[in-house]
Each structure stands twice: as C-alpha cells, then as structure tokens.
Amino acid sequence: MKTIVLYRSKYGSTKSYAEWIGEALGCEVRDAKGVKADELLCYDKIVYGGGLYAEIIAGVTLITKNIEKLKDKKIAVFTTGITPLDCRAYYDGEVLEKNFKNGVPENVKIFNLMGKMILAELSLPHRLAIKALKKIMSGKENPTDMEKLLIELCDADGDFTDKAQIADLVEYIKG
C-alpha cells in the first residue's frame, strides 16, 4: 500500500502536522503546491492537510476538484485552524459547506487539528484582514455566540499545535 501526505501551509503548523503524520506512517510527505491529480494515481492512501483561511482549507481543491479521479483512494483531509475543536457546528457546518459543496465523499474522512497564530509573524495583509474582521464583528449590535468567539479568536496569539492530535488520523489511515 503506497501512501502520501500532502500539505499547504503558510505559517508552518500544517507542515509540522504533515511531517509528524508522514513519520508515523513511514511515507512520503510533499508540499502540494504544483502537484497534479495525475501524480496521485499511483498512491492507495492520501492524506491532505491545509490551514484554514476564512473557512477555506488551503489548496484542498486538489482533492475536491479531482474526486472522480481519486474515487478509489482512501483519503484523509485535515484542517489546521485556531477555532476550538469543540465548535462542531463550525467544523461540521460552515467549513464542510464551503469546501465540500456536494457533501463529503464516502472515501474521504475529515479531521480537525489545532494550529497556531502568532500575531507578530502574520503578513501585513493577514494582519489587516484580522483587524478588519474584529472591527466588523465588534460593531454588531447583537452578536451571535460564533461572532463573539470570532472576536476573541482575532486576539488568539499562540501555538496550539500538538503532535498527539494526529493519533486518530494515523490510526484511520493505517486501518
């Protein structure tokens, strides 16, 4: 059985998880940038990881736009974000709706992992985007619980990555 771990990562947390997963599975790990779906046809199992940016899983269209070609593969997609993992309505609702418009295919299983956001490391466009989001959310008269959480998350400044979080995904791919 041939397995590959692919990732897209701007600030490094998804890359760290990809490397830990690759180490645990003893398989190849590759930055997904520039990878074509045809290059994946020789693998039986594919792990794809992407950082969450405005609910979009970075680069996941490599999987979602090629799902027909990849339909006989066992696929795990993991997200890396700063939204707490108990916000299931967020992960199972908004995130899936935005990235898997036709629903999650049967051969794909989703995992959510905690990433990092170090405000001082953010690019200027990202810093401005976070500032703008906080301003918009703070201006709401009756913010929903999710909007209140978003305001808090704009100030989340820390590294929440943890190797232990890969356990379920690794077990799934090995199984």
Ligand X SMILES: Cc1cc2nc3c(=O)[nH]c(=O)nc-3n(C[C@H](O)[C@H](O)[C@H](O)COP(=O)(O)O)c2cc1C
Which stretches of the chain bind ligand X, using CB under 6 A?
Answer: 9-14, 51-55, 80-83, 115-117, 122, 126, 129-130
Q: What is d(CA 154, CA 137) in angstroms, rounded to the nearest whole number? A: 10
Q: List strand residue ranges (DSSP E) for 54-146, in order.
A: 56-57, 74-81, 108-114, 116-117
The nearer residue to ligand X, 42 or 124, going by C-beta atoms, is: 124
The nearer residue to ligand X, 3 or 51, going by C-beta atoms, is: 51
The nearer residue to ligand X, 74 or 91, going by C-beta atoms, is: 91
The nearer residue to ligand X, 44 or 121, going by C-beta atoms, is: 121
Residue number of the CB closest to ligand X reads 115
- Give me 31's structure tokens: 């930055």
Burial (CB count <10 Å: 0-12, 13-18, 19+), residue 36: exposed
The stretches of the chain forming alpha helices (DSSP H) are: 13-25, 61-64, 88-89, 96-99, 124-138, 145-154, 167-174
